[in-house]
Amino acid sequence: MRRIAKLGAYGLGIVALSLAAAAQTETAEAQQPGAPGAPVTITLQDALGRARANLPQFQAALVEVGLARQDRVQTRAAMLPSVSYTTSYLYTQGNGTPTGVFIANNAVHEYVSQGNAHQALNLGPGQMAEFRRAGAAVALARARAEIAARGLVVTVVQNYYGYVVSQRKYASAQQAAAEAQHFLTISQELERGGEVAHSDVIKAQLQFNQRRREVREASLAMDKARLGLAVLLFPNFSQDFSVVDDLRLAPPLPTLPEVAQMAQKNNAELRAAGAALRMAEREVQVAWAGHLPTLTVDWWYGIDADHFATYSGRVHNLGYAAQATLNIPVWNWGAIQSKVKQADLRRKQARLELTFAQKQALANLQGFYQEAATARAELDTLRNSAELAAESLRLTNLRYQAGEAMALEVVDAQNTLVLARNAYDDGEARYRLALANLQTLTGSF
């Protein structure tokens, strides 16, 4: 009868633990973001949006895109005529003649007020190649920004679900400590009744001490994970948030042919390598254009007279002038050819990097997909192992109270349950991280 009573007490203890866990869950769900004093509830998508706004590395990639766009605007403007306006006054020391001391000047007092239209043209493909190089630079910056965005997803997923798993492990550690406390109580009562040896109590006490240490370590790991996630999420450091545990809602894994097709269309690494090669090819053209002549055309309209007026007596001061200059490079000590060689070296390196990126993409696709497939396949067995471990502990506790099991069996069952729970939690996080790594090649699916 006494063992039956203890069995009933054990069952009530488990029920109490379950009710307490349910109460904590209901309390967390009842807290809404808008409630006064309630923490902000953040989903994975919220975390991604916040990290994009706050992570300096990702913002730096976006700045590079903006800078590349402005470079393209500037190179396009260099191909078009420019208009400027100049006003100046020249005074020359007089010497009794109309021109004064300096023969280069037109008068003792000279006023210049003119508008100038200026156009400089390379007689080869240099300017157009420079414009196309700027366009390739924009494409390269965009591809790198996409790479940074996908890398950001991996970072956020790792930190977000790392914190979720740390919360689960902390809850598991607390539950394991409660089970160890219950086992210690049962062994002490059985010892007082003369049904077990004192060694069982010692073993139960050692197990309980170990579980208390694990609770502290799990709490420390959870705090560290929370701090790491907070740095990503908020512009000002804050820990007033909670996260949504959606690990069990992971998307399915597409087939390998589907993933390969998506990677072929959406691989940002290959786009970046291709844009870098196009940039290098345009740089070669720009460098070669240095061997060709440059034509400069200027047209002025305004006044250049000894009076700041449209008329000087009967003379009309307003007028225009034009000038065309052809600059032909003859000798520059090999500087232009050196630039050509530099550009050709960069082009060869860009080709090599593109080839390597193609091979690396194939290897990464195989590796990332196999990792995701393996993680997905193991989830069912990990879940089943956790369920079996829980059932094994329940049965072992019943056998121990009935005098049919040893204390070591109870301890072993408790350890097995903790390991199985943690392995299942780690397995779910591993699958999510594997999907995020795979999506660096394919984009979202």
Q: Which amino acid is at 381?
A: T
Is the pLDDT reported for residue 424 higher than 80?
yes
Q: Which has the minimum average pLDDT: 98-112, 144-158, 305-319, 348-362?
A: 98-112
Q: Give the pLDDT band of residue 37 (cuts 50, 70, 90).
A: low
Per-residue HEC secondary structure of 304-338 comes to: EECCCCCEECCEECCEEEEEEEEECCCCCCCHHHH
Beta bridge partners of 326: 295
d(CA 17, CA 19): 5
Q: In this structure, are residues 193 and 6 in contact, taking their beta carbons and an 8 Å threshold? A: no
Mean pLDDT of the region 363-380: 95
Is the pLDDT reported for residue 25 higher than 70?
no
Which helix (H) or strand (E) segment holds residue 298: the answer is strand 294-305
Among 94-98, 100-104, 312-316, 390-394, the range with the most confident prediction by mean pLDDT is 390-394
pLDDT at site 3: 40
Among 281, 282, 286, 290, CA closest to 333: 290
Q: In this structure, are residues 252 and 432 in contact, taking their beta carbons and an 8 Å threshold? A: no
Residues 6+ apart with CB under 8 A from 170: 215, 218, 219, 221, 222
Mean pLDDT of the region 147-168: 95
Cβ neighbours, 10 Å, residue 348? 11
Is the pLDDT reported for residue 117 higher than 60?
yes
Exposure letters 37-71 (e unless 16+ CB within 10 A, then b): eeebebebebbbebbbeebeebeebeebbeebbeb
Among 433, 411, 432, 430, CA closest to 422: 430
Beta bridge partners of 122: 294
Q: Which has the minimum average pLDDT: 155-169, 224-238, 306-320?
A: 306-320
pLDDT at site 425: 96
Q: Which has the minimum average pLDDT: 10-19, 107-116, 218-227, 249-258?
A: 10-19
Report the percentage of the chain scoring pLDDT > 70. Answer: 91
Residues 6+ apart with CB under 8 A from 249: none
Is the pLDDT reported for residue 28 higher than 70?
no
Is the pLDDT reported for residue 221 higher than 70?
yes
pLDDT at site 18: 41
pLDDT at site 30: 37
- What's the whole-number average pLDDT of the chain? 88
**Which of the 8 DSSP states describes residue 251?**
P
Per-residue HEC secondary structure of 67-84 comes to: HHHHHHHHHHHHCCCEEE
- Between 91 and 151, residue with greater pLDDT: 151
Q: Give the pLDDT band of residue 311 (cuts 50, 70, 90).
A: confident
- Domains in the chain, please, with CATH? 41-80+123-293+328-442 (1.20.1600.10)
d(CA 292, CA 294): 7
CA–CA distances in Å: residue 43 to residues 4, 46, 123, 243, 249? 46, 5, 58, 6, 12
d(CA 231, CA 54): 9
d(CA 111, CA 91): 9
Is the pLDDT reported for residue 24 higher than 80?
no
Report the percentage of the chain scoring pLDDT > 90. Answer: 72
CA 274 to chain centre: 21
d(CA 225, CA 430): 16
- Between 8 and 117, residue with greater pLDDT: 117
d(CA 272, CA 61): 13
Among 232, 250, 219, CA closest to 160: 232
- Between 259 and 305, residue with greater pLDDT: 259
pLDDT tens sequence across 184-207: 999 999 889 888 899 999 999 999
Mean pLDDT of the region 290-317: 88
Mean pLDDT of the region 40-60: 92
Among 248, 246, 253, 164, CA closest to 437: 253
